[in-house]
Amino acid sequence: MKVRSMKYIYLIFGLVISTTFTINAQEIVSPNKNIKAIVSKKESDKNSFGQVYFKILYKNKSKYIEIIPNSPLGILRDDQQFTDNLKLISESKSKEVNQKYEMISGKRKWCDNLGTEKVFKCINSNNEPLNIVFRVYNDGVAFRYEFTNKSNSLVNVIDESTTYVFPSTTNRWLQTYTDSYEGFYPFSDTGKSNDNKNNKQEWGFPALFKINNNPIWVLISEANISGNNCASKLNNSKNPNQYKVRYASPRDTFKQTGVKTTLPWNSQWHTLIIGGLSDVVESTLITDVSEPNKVEEINWIKPGAVSWIYWAYNHGSKDYQKVVEYIDLAVEMKWPYVLIDWEWDVMSNGGNIIDVVNYAKSKGIKPMIWYNSGTSWLEPTPNDRLLTPEKRAKEFAWLNKMGIYGIKVDFFAGDQQDMMKYCIAILKDAAKYKIMVNFHGATVPRGWARTYPNLMTTEAVYGAEWYNNNTVLTDKAAAHNTTLPFTRNVVGSMDYTPVTFTNSQHLHSTSYAHELALSVVFESGFQHFADRPEGYKSLPSEPKEFLKNVPVSWDETKLLDGYPGEKVIIARKKGNQWYLGGLNGNEEIQTLKINFDFLGTGNFKLKLIKDGENDKSFAVEVIKVKKGDLLNVECLPRGGFVAVVEK
C-alpha cells in the first residue's frame, strides 16, 4: 500500500513537471535537423503573464538530448521590466536565413549564414512590446531582444535575466573575467572558481562547456555589438550551474550601467556554438550573425606577417637603429609588414619616425604604428591622437601622407557602451583613409571583422608578451596553447604574437617545433612574429623557409584531432596546399595521430617538420600520403609539428 501511494505521488509530480513548460511551447529547428531550440512560458495561476524560457536539444545517435535545460529569458530597462511579466502573443513562421559572404581574413574565405529564424512577439504587463528573435543553425543557436516601438527620448537598458542553465555534471573551461581578456581557461567540473581574484564568480566570453558524458560541446559568446550596446559577461554566483548574463560594470570615469539609447533598439546576438569539437573550432557563427561588410572598397585590405620589436626588449620603438633591424628582418623573411610600437614619437639614435618609415618603404616593407587609445593607462605615448573625430581625421591624413598602412590601438578602458562606440568609430574612420586596424588591450572579438574587414586582429589573450612580465607562462604555455584553439581563437583573429625561439625576460618550456606550429594553429589576420632577429636568422633552412611562406589568411580550416589543454591538430588550406599544425600540451611524450580523410583523391606529398632529438632541434621528413591514411607523429613533452601537404 505504501509503495503504491509513493508511485501515485511520483506520477502526479511527473505530470506537473512535464506540463510546467509546455504552455505556448514552440520549437525552431536547424536546417540539418540536429539542433532544436524550444521557447516556452511558465504561466502563473492568476494571470497569463510570466517568465519566458528556452531550452536546446541536440541529436546524438538519432536521439535528441537536452543539453541546455529550461533557461530564463528577459531584459530590464530603468522604465520597464520585461522579465517575469511577459505574455507570448504570437510567433512568426519559420524563415530561412541564407547568405553567402566572403571574409578577407579568418578561418574560412567563403562562409554561409544559413539558419532558421523565428520571431516571438511578447508584451509585458504594461502592454509594452518586446520581440525575442531566435536563429538555429547547423552549428548553434543565436538569439536577441528587440524593442520595436519608437521613442525620441533616451531609455536605459540596465540588465538581462538571460541565463544559461547546464546539467551539474558539465565540464567547463572558463576565463575569470577581466576587461583585457588576458587570462587562462582552467578546467572545472564544479563551476566554482579557484581564483581568489574571482570572488564574484564572473566569467568572460567565450565560455566552453562539455555536456555531461556526451561528446557535445557548447561555446557561449556574443556577436554584432553596435554603438548602442555594451559588452557583457557571465555570473554564476547564485548557482554554479546557472550562468546569468551581466552587462559591463560602470567604471570610475563612466558611471553608466548598461546602455542608453532611443527606440527601436536591439541587443547583441547571444550565441551558442554547438556540436562536436570540430563543429566548434570550424564555426563562423560569430561573423554569420554580424552585420555585412560596410566598407565599399576592400582591395587595399591585405593580411600578412609582421616583424615586431616589443617582445625582445619589453619596450617600444624609440631606438631608430633597433627598428631598422626589424625592417631588415622583414626583408629577409619575406614578411610584408613591420610594426613600430609605442614611444615612436620620441624616437632617437639616428632617426625619427619619418626617417624609419622612409627606410621601410625603401626596402619594400609596409610600416604600421602603435597608438594609446587615451582611455585607460596613459603612460606610454602617443596617447591622445584618436579620441575625437577631428583628431582622427588629422592623424589618419598624416599617416596617409607618410605611407602608413595600419595602426595598433592599445589600452582600452573596458566593455562599456562608450568603448564599443569608440572602437567602431576608429574602424569606420580608419577605413575612410584605407588604414588597417589591430586592437590591443581590448574586448574579445564580437563579429566586427565581417562588418569592418579592416579589423585584422585583436589581442584579448594571454599571449607571448607575458613572457616579459612574470614566470607563469613558462610552465603553463603548452596546456594554454592547446586550449586557445577551442576557446578564444574560435570567435575571431587572435594576436598572440607567436613563434619565439629565444627567451625574453622569462624562459620558454615549449619546444622549437611547438613554437613553429603556432603559426598555423593560431589564426590572425596580422600574424606578429615576435622573436628577435637572431631567433629567426639562426633557424635551420626548413623551418626558416616555412616561416617565410606560411599564410596568415585561409580558404578553409579543419580540426583533425584535439582536446582542450592536451593536444590539437589543425589543418588550414590556402590555394592548393594544406598547412598542418600540431601541439602537445602535455608534460610527457605524446603521439599525435593525423587522419588524412580531409584530402581529395590522388596522391599527395607531405613535408613534415617535427621535434628533433631535443626541444631545440627539428627533424624533417618527406612522405607520400593519400586520403584515408593515418600518420603517427611522436612529439616531445610540450612539443609539436608542422606539415605542408600538396599534390
Kindly tell me if the per-residue pLDDT of 421 is higher than 50. Answer: yes
Instruction: Specify the pLDDT at position 213.
Output: 82
Instruction: Specify the pLDDT at position 2.
Output: 37
Tell me the C-alpha distance between 462 and 302, whole Å: 26
Residues 65 and 142 grouped into a single domain: yes
Tell me the C-alpha distance between 246 and 265, whole Å: 18
Domain stop point among 437, 460, 483: 460
**In this structure, what CATH number is given to the domain that contains residue 268?**
2.70.98.10
Instruction: Specify the pLDDT at position 43.
Output: 60
Tell me the C-alpha distance between 381 and 182, whole Å: 22
Q: Tens digits of per-residue pLDDT, 466-499?
A: 999 999 999 999 999 999 999 999 999 999 999 9
| Distance between first and last Cα of the chain | 76
Tell me the C-alpha distance between 349 and 211, whole Å: 58
pLDDT-derived band of residue 48, with 50, 70 and 90 as boundaries?
confident
Residues 508 and 591 grouped into a single domain: yes
Q: Tens digits of per-residue pLDDT, 293-352?
A: 999 999 999 999 999 999 998 888 999 999 999 999 999 999 999 999 999 999 999 999
Grid cell listed for 372: 594609446
Choose among 57, 50, 88, 92: nearest CA to 72: 50
Q: Tens digits of per-residue pLDDT, 616-638?
A: 999 999 999 999 999 999 999 99
| 269 assigned to some structural domain | yes
Alpha carbon of residue 277 to chain centroid:
15
Mean pLDDT of 177-195: 93
Residues 468 and 384 grouped into a single domain: no
Residues 516 and 443 grouped into a single domain: no
| 490 assigned to some structural domain | yes
Instruction: Specify the pLDDT at position 570.
Output: 98
- Counting the structural domains of the chain, the total is 3
| Long-range contacts of the stretch 418-422 (C-beta < 8 A, 24+) | 418/254, 418/256, 419/375, 419/443, 420/225, 420/226, 420/227, 420/229, 420/230, 420/231, 421/227, 422/373, 422/375
Instruction: Specify the pLDDT at position 24.
Output: 53
The Cβ-side half-sphere exposure at 502, using a 13 Å CA radius, reads 16
Tell me the C-alpha distance between 171 and 186, whole Å: 11
DSSP annotation of 384 reads S
Q: Tens digits of per-residue pLDDT, 71-104?
A: 999 999 999 999 999 999 999 999 999 999 999 9
Tell me the C-alpha distance between 143 and 132, whole Å: 7
Q: What is the extent of the structural domain holding 29?
A: 23-164+215-288
Q: Which amino acid is at 281?
A: V
| 538 assigned to some structural domain | no
Residues 313 and 283 grouped into a single domain: no
Domain stop point among 460, 482, 514: 460
Instruction: Specify the pLDDT at position 196.
Output: 67
Residues 379 and 348 grouped into a single domain: yes
Residues 452 and 487 grouped into a single domain: no
pLDDT, mean over the chain: 94
Choose among 211, 303, 268, 335: nearest CA to 525: 303
| 423 assigned to some structural domain | yes
| 184 assigned to some structural domain | no
Please identify which residue in the block is written with the cell numbers 631535443. 614
Grid cell listed for 338: 613591420
| 537 assigned to some structural domain | no
Grid cell listed for 512: 622549437
Instruction: Specify the pLDDT at position 11.
Output: 36
Tell me the C-alpha distance between 30 and 132, whole Å: 17
Residues 247 and 352 grouped into a single domain: no
Q: How far is the CA of 58 from the CAs of 52, 208, 251, 636, in angstroms?
A: 21, 16, 40, 38
Q: Does residue 337 contact residue 528 with C-beta atoms inside 8 Å?
A: no
Residues 327 and 371 grouped into a single domain: yes
Grid cell listed for 436: 588597417
Choose among 515, 440, 508: nearest CA to 468: 508
**In this structure, what CATH number is given to the domain that contains residue 350?**
3.20.20.70
SS3 333: helix
pLDDT-derived band of residue 254, with 50, 70 and 90 as boundaries?
very high
Tell me the C-alpha distance between 556 and 563, whole Å: 20
| 185 assigned to some structural domain | no
Domain stop point among 235, 262, 288: 288
Residues 231 and 249 grouped into a single domain: yes
Residues 371 and 510 grouped into a single domain: no
Instruction: Specify the pLDDT at position 78.
Output: 96
Instruction: Specify the pLDDT at position 171.
Output: 97
Q: Using H for helix, E for strand and C for coil, what is the string for 130-141?
A: EEEEEEEECCEE
φ, ψ for residue 200 (rounded to 5)? -85, -5
Tell me the C-alpha distance between 159 and 394, whole Å: 38
Mean pLDDT of 269-287: 98
Q: Does residue 546 contact residue 518 with C-beta atoms inside 8 Å?
A: no
Tell me the C-alpha distance between 47 and 36, whole Å: 29
Tell me the C-alpha distance between 600 and 404, whole Å: 42
Percent of the chain with pLDDT over 70: 95
Q: Tens digits of per-residue pLDDT, 363-411?
A: 999 999 999 999 999 989 999 999 999 999 999 999 999 999 999 999 9
The Cβ-side half-sphere exposure at 97, using a 13 Å CA radius, reads 24
Percent of the chain with pLDDT over 90: 91
Instruction: Specify the pLDDT at position 220.
Output: 98
Q: Tens digits of per-residue pLDDT, 2-38?
A: 333 333 333 333 333 333 444 457 999 999 999 999 9
Cα torsion through 441, 444, 448, 450, rounded to 10: 120
Tell me the C-alpha distance between 276 and 295, whole Å: 34
Residues 403 and 277 grouped into a single domain: no
Tell me the C-alpha distance between 402 and 433, whole Å: 12
| 174 assigned to some structural domain | no
